[in-house]
Chain A
């Protein structure tokens, strides 16, 4: 994937995470910020994040791959999404 597209994808996911899951304006979320292990996104909410990714990128991520580790940062999420794009 081209770097421009990758950055766009990261930005898209980052914006979604901030708008949907972060209540505290003082919290700074970056591409590397842990999301699950930090508690910003809990395991139940991970399901809505999964649905967002599948809708947005028109992919299907198998439940076995939707692990807390794979969702633990925007970088990890984008890496996961990339595996299922163009399949």
Chain B
């Protein structure tokens, strides 16, 4: 059994996190959230259904046209099999209909929108991901990779990420803004602010429990610590 980690060693190790950071030329970090196997499989199934329905409808119409229709149908089958994903990904901002429904998007590793070369590569190499049956290689690769990439994604240098939606503005609990009785580092400030912002989603017992950790440095009794922290958070945000 490994020894219980001391606080120092916990702080030294990076947190377990699937988020993927990309530094841009503007000097900021883009935070991307790669999507795992399940949402991607669902997105693929949706696409598969759509393609099936599309081909079924097309063939029903084209069968009336005889041989010419069959030829056209085969060409369409080819287009839908090999080009459906590529066309949607490149022309619809990295989203095939299935991905759009699941809130996913394909981008390059560096966060830029996907182009023809990368999209063609990742979708042609799908043939290998499918092997030996039912996407076995793709799933194994996906589960093993820190950014959940299948083989096609590794070769093409692409990433399937969640499209983030704008977060709703949190309601900060009412409190009189006060100054903290001690100076705080940036991450400590962020922690206090996050506590206040997340207060709505935590149970009161949990809030009490978390706030009482700070009771001693704040020099207040444990039951008043929560109110005190909300006050400090308000003080950080606005005028004191």
Q: Do A and B bind each other?
A: no
